[in-house]
Amino acid sequence: MTIFALAVAGMFPLFHLGRIELFYYIIPYPNTMALYPQWRSPLVWDFFAIATYTIVSIMFFYIDLIPDLATLRDKAKSRFVKFLYAIPAMGWRGDAFHWEGLTKTAFFLAVLATPLVISVHSIVGLDFAISNLPGWHHTIFPPFFVAGAIFSGMAMVLLFAALLRSGFKMQGIITDEHLNKASILLLITGLIVVYGYIIETFGAWFSGDTHEWALVVERSLGTFAPAFWGMIIFNGVVIQLLWFKSIRTNPTALVFISIAVLVGMWLERFVIVPVSLSYPFLEGMWDPFSFTIWDILTIISPFGLFLTPMFLFIRFLPTVSIAETQAVAVEEENYDN
């Protein structure tokens, strides 16, 4: 899921270049004119953040997938299908030597990915924080964006987990305890996001900055008030249902809560980006944003770019690790004996 989402994320910085065919200008490669990217540009930061995150995510995903690819290879009935699975399986035999190498590599990538997740989303927050534009110039943005990324990511994970659990009869694999723990993490990160909303509003008032406070008033009472209050309700109010364990273990309720969170996080991005850009320092430049057909198409098209490979993955590859499930089954059997 992360890899497919990064494919969408990597597309949007290219739009902001203006001339997509010159995307390689943001890559620091040797050239005859000795031209290098502007290292103070957030577009360059985004390129390195997304590229690094994508590479590590693909490696982490692929390493853990190798045993399952070998299982699919061994169980394939067609020689052609067996050949297709055998190439990425890379001769995996499942012996102790292979497992030792895979375990060490997966652990190393997990250790590497943990600070990477924090740094990547902090950089996204700094894209806004380095600007003096009202609504963007906040030091809380780096940790706020990290919490928001985990919050929306957990909502997406819960959405797919609940749907796959019901659709493929996987109650024995994706258990109520899994849903319960994931819901608790969703609640915790949601509370952090709500805290960020409170601090952002308090900072605008406490700083005495008239431009910041004017934007807060405009967000909550002006043209875009429905988007602002929708964000508050979906991200701050709906998740309070997760205090109840009966809700945390109810797949149907989790589907609706996850969808609400995803809508709320989109509204948050809308409030941060176009709403803030609509109200800069000079009132004469105030121009409320309005959707055009191109904006709507730009919103709709990433859904296809994300869902198409996601559905293909669900169709042709295991959605839950076969090797890990077998290991847990063996441990439980040994424990019972």
Q: Are residues 155 and 278 in the same domain?
A: yes
Tokens for 219, please give them.
């967000």
Q: Are residues 85 and 228 in the same domain?
A: no
**CA-based angle 241:243:248, to the nearest 5?**
75
Q: Are residues 108 and 177 in the same domain?
A: no
Q: Are residues 285 and 137 in the same domain?
A: yes
Q: Are residues 43 and 159 in the same domain?
A: no
What is the block-wise mean pLDDT of the chain (337 residues), using blocks of 10 residues?
Answer: 81 79 79 77 81 86 88 87 88 85 88 84 84 84 89 91 86 86 93 91 85 86 90 93 92 93 92 84 75 85 87 84 72 61
Q: Are residues 272 and 169 in the same domain?
A: yes
Q: Are residues 156 and 281 in the same domain?
A: yes
Note the pLDDT of residue 7. Answer: 81
Note the pLDDT of residue 57. Answer: 85
Note the pLDDT of residue 140. Answer: 87
Q: Are residues 171 and 247 in the same domain?
A: yes
Residue 303 within any structural domain of the chain:
no
Note the pLDDT of residue 215. Answer: 84
Find the domain containing 267 and state its range.
Answer: 133-290
pTM of the model: 0.84
Q: How many domains does the chain have?
A: 2
Distance, CA of 129 to chain centre: 20
Note the pLDDT of residue 231. Answer: 93
